Amino acid sequence: MSKETVLISGGAGYIGSHTTVALVEAGYDVVVIDNFSNSEAGAIEGVEKILGRKITFEKIDTCDKDALRGVFERHQFNTVIHFAAYKAVGESMAEPLKYYQNNLVSFMNIVEMMKEFNRPSILFSSSATVYGDAETLPVTEQTPRQPATSPYGNTKQIAEDILRDCCRAYERLYGIALRYFNPIGAHPSALIGELPRGVPNNLLPFVTQTAAGIRERLSVFGNDYDTPDGTCLRDYIDVVDLAKAHVAAVDRMTAGKMDEKYEIFNVGTGSPVSVLELLTRFEAVNDLKLPYTIVGRRPGDVPAVWADTSYANKVLGWKAERPLDDTLRAAWAWEKRIRNIK
């Protein structure tokens, strides 16, 4: 018997596909919606291969309110996880309207449908970008948010505020925002993983594509930061661990255990790793050498950010478990599979 059904918007994306697997493995049923604007149909096939069963999928754009209403009419669920969003920081700087239109309209449509259909629980995919260049580290959930350094980051801040205000205003609505740090890696099966379109925005896909010979060399943006080796410090969280955090949050919602109508949790490891450290660890565990060049700092990059995860560890009963070396092996195994590298 499945626990209950969860609607997953953007469920064919990188984090969405891994969370779909984790939820079904935890006993939930799922309805996945995605319009493949930032994902591939192959992710659904990969999820189904891992699970050994079909999942309910509909090709829907969450910005299309009428189409979304149809999903709410056809399916019975009490919980929604909202992933669907554009997520490239650089692109958001060049095309802010595209990001505000897509990321905020899609989210408001979801919340509006939940209110209209009396569906009580929403889990929002937020980001550590809301902390900006934090004054103290590590950041806790009480660390003041700094002004967003990109329109992408601003959409996360605004959506958090929308969710907080709606949970206050609407008696039946409960919300959790998970603030992710830097998701990396792939499922151990190598059947799903990160598949960026065009030039990757995140470090590890750039690393794996360079290792695969798709990129000539890797650019390390700045080695003059006030950090131990001069490169940026980040909190890299394995995507499988991240997916399990969503299961823990859904468990909390469906069991009616929330202390507040709106809650926030940091999802990271609590251990900062520098860009150069990640590169050398990747080389070591996969027995490779990567060509890279130190270049100037990239606009919008903060020198360091990592999580205090004690609140999520205690309240959600969740903790990041996968060793970084295993994560880096899984990322390379995924890259090799999609590139047919032996």
Calculate ∠ Cα 245-247-252, nearest 5°. Answer: 95
Q: Which helix (H) or strand (E) holds 19?
A: helix 14-25
Contact 119, 69 (CB under 8 A): no
Set 86, 152, 174, 262: catalytic member: 152
Tokens of 50: 């891992």
Contact 86, 102 (CB under 8 A): yes
Contact 150, 157 (CB under 8 A): no
Question: Is 152 considered catalytic here?
Answer: yes
Residues 154 and 160: their CA atoms lie apart, in Å, by 10
Residues 295 and 222: their CA atoms lie apart, in Å, by 6
Beta bridge partners of 79: 6, 121
**Catalytic positions, please?**
152
